[in-house]
Amino acid sequence: MILRGRRTRDFRAGGVTGGVWLPAPARRCGAGVSVGWAVGWKEKQLREELTYPVARPEPGVPLEIAPGVFWLRMPIPIKGLDFINLWLLADGPGWTLVDSGLDTPELRAIWAGVTDSLFAGGAKPPTRLIGTHFHPDHLGLAGELCRRFDMPLWMTFGEWSFGRMIWLDARDAVPDQSVAFYARLGFPEAALEAYRKRGFKQYQSAVSPIPESFRRIGEGERIEIGGRIWQVMVGRGHAPEHACLYCAELGLLISGDQVLPRISPHIGVYPTEPEADPLKDYLDSLPRFRDLPAETLVLPSHGDLFRGLHERVATLERHHRRRLADLLAVCAEPKKVLEVFSSLYRRPIGEREMTLATGEALAHLHYLIGEGAIARELGADGIYRYRQSAPVAEVA
Ligand SMILES: [Zn+2]
């Protein structure tokens, strides 16, 4: 069977597109970080001139970075990320929280400290929690906080429903079709066995029960927070319907994982949606951020606050274009997905990083299939191979 594509609907089948949370050890690797960044892209990632105008606060200590906007850094045991940035927005008699952190005892203790200080022992409690997306480092304590403070969870439909689905789908055995997905990609038996052994409960183990109901937010919605308007901008590719929040009055963009400084957000294909083309979603949704003023101060979920949004968007685009060109060149001969790793990553991929690295490589391969530049063929051995079907010049 040969799969070719020119962005047909068949190829992009499915409602919820790419960037799903990966069924990998949640406490060790990857929600937001790209494996290419963690192990090193073959070509060093491009850098641009960004400025980082705000010094990092101590972990767990809220810092006011604009009127009524507080930055809270939370330590997370995710290799390569180490911290997540949460935002607390003064909102009349209470607070609007943006994201919650992973469900760990350490983060629960930090929230207790914030309750004592910023929330005045509960006299000035948060009244709403906005979740940017369903990944465990963002949504892990959302349910717990919503229950504790009796407040609603505001999220896009795609993020809430996907997170709740995965949470409820926790089980001991990995679904056969997920194992078959990696078998078709040529995973050796030892890697398949390691994947089976992980089980299917990592997401649930890092996330407190996600509220049964939510308040839907969507593209373009204007949310009033503390007398100021924050507009929802939906980004795609890293997660199905990732909410970013832009406040023109303050010149701030809460970018979540959609636009990060220094690292590229993880874009991957997973068994949940095997034919997804999340890199197309990502690259399609990225240019809109250039419509925001160049001097916008970006509040990302990982790393430092920065200025240079337009440059950062251009760098991320260039980074992916170059990875696509590398992949296309290496697929002059038919290649299994594991055989393209060496053209993407600087060092060998360990067993724990296999699904991440595969997801990222597949995202780029699927993009090229969608462009009609690469065809996928299922060999007699039951393993997919990818090879050029158009001259390099067409997509490079
Ligand atoms: Zn994420």
Q: For the residues of 249-285, what is the DSSP string, one character each?
A: TTTEEEEETTS-SSSPBP----TTSTT--HHHHHHHH
Centre of ligand 1 from the C-alpha of residue 55, in Å: 23
Query: 3-state SS of the chain: helix, strand, coil percent to 5?
Result: 35, 20, 45
Q: Pick from 64, 86, 79: which is nearest to 33 by CA?
A: 79
pLDDT tens-digit series, residues 333-342: 999 999 999 9
The confidence score (pLDDT) of residue 15 equals 28
Ligand 1 mean position, distance from CA 61 (Å): 23
Alpha carbons within 13 angstroms on the beta-carbon side of residue 338 total: 16
Query: What distance in angstroms lies between residue 278's CA and the mean position of ligand 1's atoms?
Result: 13
Q: Any idea what the Cα angle at residue 21 is, between residues 19 and 22, rounded to 5°?
A: 100
Distance 256 CA to ligand 1 centre (A): 7
- The answer to whether 356 and 22 have CB atoms below 8 angstroms apart is yes
Query: What is the 133 CA–ligand 1 centroid distance (Å)?
Result: 7
The pLDDT score that the predictor gives to residue 45 is: 60
Strand 69-75 versus strand 63-66 pairing type: antiparallel
Look at residue 23 in the predicted model and tell me its pLDDT. 33
SS3 359: helix
Q: Tell me the backbone φ, ψ of residue 292, rounded to 5 degrees.
A: -80, 155
Residue 72 near residue 95, CB atoms below 8 Å = no
Per-residue pLDDT at 34 = 73
Asked if 338 contacts 358 with a C-beta cutoff of 8 angstroms, the reply is: yes
Residue 138 · residue 81 · CB < 8 Å: no
Domains along the chain? Answer: 2-394 (3.60.15.10)
Q: How far is the CA of 31 from the centre of ligand 1 (A)?
A: 5
The per-residue pLDDT for 78 is: 75
DSSP reduced 3-state for 22: coil
Q: Give the angle subtended at the CA of 238 by the CAs of 232 and 243, to the nearest 5°.
A: 10
Q: Which residues surround ligand 1, an ion (CB under 5 A)?
A: 31-32, 135, 257
Asked whether the beta carbons of 383 and 185 are under 8 A apart, the reply is yes
Residues linked to residue 129 through DSSP beta bridges, in sequence order: 97, 153
Looking at residue 24, what is its pLDDT? 36
CA of 140 to the centre of ligand 1 (A): 12
CA 111 – CA 145 distance, rounded (Å): 9
Residues of the chain with pLDDT under 70: 1-33, 37-39, 41-47, 390-396
Six-digit token string for 101: 């952190």
- Quote the pLDDT of residue 393: 52
d(CA 114, CA 110): 6
User: Among residues 276, 207, 178, which one has the least CA distance to residue 236?
Assistant: 276
pTM assigned to the model: 0.89
Adjacency order of strands within the sheet including 2-3: 2-3, 374-378, 384-388
Spacing, Cα 18 to ligand 1 middle (Å):
12
Q: How far apart are the first and last CA of the chain?
A: 27
